[in-house]
Structure 1
């Protein structure tokens, strides 16, 4: 944690830097916590900064490049090529960025909680005070969970190594070891329990951009699914499905003339263009001037002239079907300026003749590459329920089965109103594979695929599935990885290893 602590040492204070500032601990004019935290208004201002530190940008980028969501685009000049070739070690930038981002979030929450403890709310402020603390603790829980998901070798084993548990602001000299999964999950459960008891849902059209009861239930559903506790996963997924007030976002109306415009009337397109909430449970707000998730794929803007250095992997594109089949995701995920080869297997100049432009993040006014980050959606709750049913053998049938749930999602995604067939699985493996396939389509470029393969690939007999020319054209020597490969867990970053003598690296790194 030494590098992180150095970076975040002045998270509270604001000061101007000179040569002397590099070694002075206390700066002239620095605002300490005693000044920063004096009222609930101060708490809210700092809590806004905590929200700004919450992100899944690194997960989206890493998962897309490392697995099978992306191809190397026509304008690529080496961007992410090493990672695309599965070069992954402690010096790789993406795991380091993820590690730092979530510990930054955790550091901000801990500083907020320490500062909030200085304030004694008035009687009529207690509920608002406790709700702000609840939001911070829920975000701290989320940061720890994201770290566990990517850096723990076996998240289902309480005794396995997890990550560094941070429930306070550490001293500058501390070098902390990794805690067990069980220890970190105990803190996560404590934070969620407090949040559930004290959170007051925000009102208004943008309430889904803040921690809510729906978020807490969705978070628990995902957490328990990842841990293999499908009884609790199904329980919380059902709560969200039945009580959130949300419905699976409709694919209609579809109007060809306005689908790709700022005035689109299509609910599914509106959801990803940040026009309407749709089925979003939590979305991290990203104003036009703050960040740019589509910069993961483009230099300038999300079309053919915008410098696409990554495009959609061909095998993922094939799963979207044809326009005649009516899956709205075929239109919503692919920009209309794409160049689509009729026969990609034999076409010359594959990169230039098959440019599948990603449009899931179409940008917003004043920010061509910027969209809000969709952290939890209702679709995922349906998938978790399907996983729970698969775990108990309920795979076939028109109700309360894996087949029924996946059909429900596919029906909802069809803008031509074509009723989708009810699947009939010959084995549990087929059912798991179909769940994984539908998650691959619906949740692509939202940061799920890497973890989904790690936790479900063995049940589905599925691993990374890239189109062969996406590998051949870029001299990728190995086009996939076995699920037993150590690279399905991220390495502890080199900076942490160098600055923390008590940290332990993951196996085979």
Structure 2
């Protein structure tokens, strides 16, 4: 199936709007849910819309979703050369129930959940009428992907709005497995209840998905769809957050069984100086490599992720209002000599080509446009590198420190540009589990920068290790903002948005707000 989703919310919700005035007139041309969903093809159109509603890359001019928030609130960004004050509030660690980022995350994920629940309601009506084996199989695959997306949305809400992940009684978020009435209000469920719900959704999805879009040979399209191994990757994330480390390792093994995924390659400047390597092309050209597990397709007319950092396109002439922080730039030190290494291909991708390093102009380059324009990039949601980082953590927590070091060494080695003479990375070895976990936290920062992980990593792993936010003084001075936030601070959990509290007055606010 050589088809890339051209997602359209309009296609999904064409008929969901109704006239609800004083006499509730039903318009003659109104298309209700039953009319909109009549076949498996209609269910597929609905699924496309559920995919389209997931927008961690959304935002512009200082506002946004997960990709921007994770770097802005922590230590990945400094004020850009053309800043007009964007992001000052969040950079200063000011979070309130009216904070835009909290409201965006809450409203977007619950919108996705609502769309998924509408689709599942239609599925329940249509599935018993199906007769052909092909239609039944396809309908099950549609339900599996919808359940996985619903479970993932609940998981992201849990991560950002739950104070204590591993306390099953900690207040979490609202479980929604049905389409509510507009006047309904609900209390928060506990973390234990939400984890159980997420795990059930993902388990059912795994049982239904079959071999949907699993390749025997490499394709350019597989990574845009949720398949069995994508679901296992979601389950690995959930198990890690829940503290079920052995299970997380089992899921990672299932994702990577039979060497299904491999790491992308760095440039080999000895053999071919003009080839940037598949890792760099994965970002600059949206190349689908064997490292991509799940990627959000972005095409003409879709959200432009470049607008998170620039007013007018990537580059020094694009009016950058955010730049790469000094702290993150100098964090790429492969050989431990105290100097930043551009032989780390990850930094080559992060640093936009027109940057003026000597003048302190560190432009963000991970998203600078691709085949569909200067502002549009596919969004890498899950990569094999992340699974290896989970594996290393599982090994470290099991006391397998040599295995953890070897896993991290293999990942690090795959990111070194091949030069003559070669760069020799720091030898990795650990004497204690905590030493290994600190290294893993650092390597997650390098590997997953600007992909929506840093805030959550500091909340989960940083709190355990006593590591909070500690910015370079040059970075915080650029915003005239505080440089640090201690580990475990209440602001590592977002406030329940004011919009939700106003509409649902019985809901419990998080501590500190």
Same fold at TM > 0.5: yes
Task: Encode CA deviations 1:311-347: one digit per residue, 9 max, x unaligned.
Answer: 1110110012468662111211111210112xxxxxx
Q: Residue 132 of structure 2: which of 95, 110, 123 is its match?
A: 123
Give me the whole-angstrom Cα distance separating, in 1, the residues matched to 2:498 and 2:313.
33
Once the 2 structures are TM-superposed, how far is the Cα of residue 366 of structure 1 from its aligned partner? 3.8
**Which residue matches 1:316?**
328
Is 1:292 matched up with 2:294? no
Residues 201-222 of structure 1, C-alpha deviations (whole Å, 9 max, x = no match): 2265211111111111111111
2:398 corresponds to? 392
Which residue of structure 1 aligns with residue 249 of structure 2? 234
Aligned counterparts of 2:353 and 2:160: Cα–Cα separation in 1: 34
Corresponding residue for residue 344 of structure 1: none
Equivalent-residue separation in structure 2 for 1:98 and 1:471 (angstroms): 25
Given the alignment, which residue of 454, 460, 468 partners 1:455? 460
Q: Per-residue deviation at 1:268?
A: 0.6
Identify the match of residue 495 of structure 2 among 469, 480, 491. 491
- Give the 5 Å matches for 1:96-111: 96-111=103-118
> Could you say which residue in structure 2 is the equivalent of 1:407?
409
Residues 421-469 of structure 1, C-alpha deviations (whole Å, 9 max, x = no match): 4323343332211111110011000010001001111344422131101
Q: Deviations over 1:38-95 (max 9, x none)?
A: 1111111111101101232211111111000111111110111111111101000001
Q: Distance in 2 between matches of 1:48 and 1:410?
A: 36
Q: Is the 8 A contact 2:223 2:288 kept in 1?
A: no
Partner of 1:87: 94
Q: 2:261 aligns with which of 218, 243, 246?
A: 246
- Kindly indicate whether the alpha-carbon contact (under 8 Å) linking 2:264 and 2:289 is maintained by their aligned counterparts in 1: no
2:172 is the counterpart of 1:162: yes
Secondary structure of the residue aligned to 1:117 is: helix
**Could you tell me which of 435, 446, 449 is aligned with 1:430?**
435
> CA, structure 1 residues 133+74, in 2 after alignment: closer, same or farther (shift >3 Å)?
same
The residue aligned with 1:178 is 188
SS, match of residue 374 in structure 1: strand
Mark the runs of 5 or more structure 2 residues left unpaired by the alignment: 1-9, 58-64, 334-338
Aligned length: 480
Aligned residue runs from structure 1 range 330-369, under 5 A = 330-341=347-358, 353-369=359-375
C-alpha deviation, 1:256, in angstroms: 12
Q: Any idea what SS the aligned residue of 2:314 has?
A: coil
1:381 corresponds to 2:387: yes
2:481 matched to 1:472? no
Cα deviation, residue 178, structure 1? 0.8
Residue 78 in structure 1 maps to residue 85 in structure 2: yes
* Contact preservation (8 Å) 1:251, 1:266: yes
| Equivalent residues of 2:18, 2:30 under 8 A apart | no
In the alignment, what sits opposite 1:4?
none
**Is 1:69 the counterpart of 2:76 in the alignment?**
yes
Whether the 8 Å contact between 1:63 and 1:450 is mirrored in structure 2 is yes
> What is the CA–CA distance in structure 1 between the aligned matches of 2:378 and 2:309, rounded to whole Å?
16
Shift in alpha-carbon separation, 1:275–1:454, aligned structure 2, 3 A: same
From the superposition, tell whether residues 75 and 43 of structure 1 become closer, same or farther in structure 2 (CA, over 3 Å): same
Cα distance in 2 for partners of 1:62, 1:28 equals 45
Q: Evaluate the alpha carbon distance shift between residue 362 and residue 23 of structure 1 in structure 2; reply closer, same or farther with a 3 A threshold.
A: farther
Q: Which moved more, 1:212-221 or 1:488-497?
A: 212-221
Contact residue 173 and residue 194 of structure 2 kept, 8 A = yes
Q: Decide whether the 8 Å contact of 2:300 with 2:373 is kept in 1.
A: yes
Aligned mates of 1:424, 1:298 — CA distance in 2? 40
Q: What is the Cα deviation at residue 491 of structure 1?
A: 0.4
Instruction: Tell me the SS of whatever aligns to 2:293.
Output: strand
Residue aligning to 2:156 = 146
Distance across 2 between alignment mates of 1:468 and 1:265: 33
Report deviation, 1:25: 7.3
Pairwise CA distance, 1:131: 0.9
Q: Secondary structure at the match of 2:104?
A: helix
1:209 maps to 2:219: no
CA 1:26–1:470: 2 relative to 1, 3 Å? farther
Tell me how large the CA RMSD over aligned residues is.
2.4
Cα 1:34–1:73 change in 2 (3 A) is same
Give the C-alpha shift of residue 241 in structure 1. 2.6
Three-state SS of the structure 2 residue aligned to 1:130 is helix
2:78–2:479 contact (8 Å) kept in structure 1: no
Check conservation: 2:292, 2:380, Cα contact below 8 A: yes
For the residues of structure 1 that align with 2:237 and 2:500, how far apart are their CA atoms? 28
Q: Supply the distance in 2 between the matched residues of 1:30 and 1:56 (Cα, whole angstroms).
A: 32
Shift of 1:27: 4.5
CA gap of 1:340–1:115, structure 2 versus 1, over 3 A, is: same
| CA distances 1:465-487 after superposition (whole Å, capped 9, x unpaired) | 311011123211x2110112110
SS in structure 1 of the partner of residue 381 of structure 2: strand
